[in-house]
């Protein structure tokens, strides 16, 4: 069982072409953290996740900033560190997923920063856990 997620980031790919788009750091809302914990602990795939303070880096040359409220298909590998509830050890986990992304907040005008995005229509493709001795 996992009790908390302490770090999270993505490597993002275009959902239609499979081309690399960039690397992304973000903050999970409390509700999204709980949904991910429910997935890890009970295999309950979240219908949606809300991410805050999404910052893109290492973007591809063909990266085009998404527009507000226009869904786009993505494939990504989410890297998270989860705390094992029993041992209190940090467990690195990789979750490969497909989803539709919807930008909900983009006030700064910076094409590499979003205040809020929503992931929907989530399909989990693979999960890898690396237990550290």
Dump the DSSP string for 80-104: EEEEETTT--EEEEEEEEEEEEEEE
Percentage, residues of the chain above pLDDT 70: 98
Confidence of residue 132 (pLDDT cuts 50, 70, 90): low
Look at the alpha carbons of 122, 123, 125, 131 in this order and tell me if their dihedral is positive or negative: positive
What pLDDT does residue 129 have? Answer: 86
- Across residues 24-46, what is the average pLDDT? 97
* pLDDT of 6 strictly over 80: yes
What are the domain boundaries of the chain?
2-129
Length of the chain counted residue by residue: 133
Burial of 108 by CB count in 10 Å (0-12 exposed, 13-18 middle, 19+ buried)?
A: exposed
pLDDT > 70? residue 133: no
* Average pLDDT score, the chain: 92
Tens of pLDDT, residue by residue over 63-98, are 878 888 899 999 999 999 999 999 999 999 999 999
**What pLDDT sits at residue 131?**
62
Instruction: Calculate mean pLDDT across residues 114-118.
Output: 95
User: How large is the average pLDDT for residues 115-131?
Assistant: 92
Write the pLDDT tens digit of every residue in 10-31: 999 988 888 999 999 999 999 9
């Amino acid at each position: 069982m996992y009790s908390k997620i302490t770090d999270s980031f993505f490597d993002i790919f275009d959902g239609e072409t499979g081309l690399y788009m960039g690397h992304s750091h973000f903050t999970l809302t409390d509700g999204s953290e709980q949904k991910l914990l429910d997935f890890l602990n009970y295999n309950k795939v979240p219908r949606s996740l809300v991410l805050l303070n999404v910052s893109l880096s290492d973007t591809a040359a063909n990266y085009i900033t998404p527009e507000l409220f226009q869904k786009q298909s993505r494939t990504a590998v989410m890297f998270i560190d989860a705390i094992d509830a029993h041992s209190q050890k940090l467990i690195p986990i990789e979750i490969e997923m497909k989803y539709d992304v919807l930008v909900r907040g983009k006030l700064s005008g910076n094409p590499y920063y979003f205040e809020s995005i929503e992931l929907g229509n989530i399909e989990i493709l693979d999960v890898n856990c690396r237990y550290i001795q």
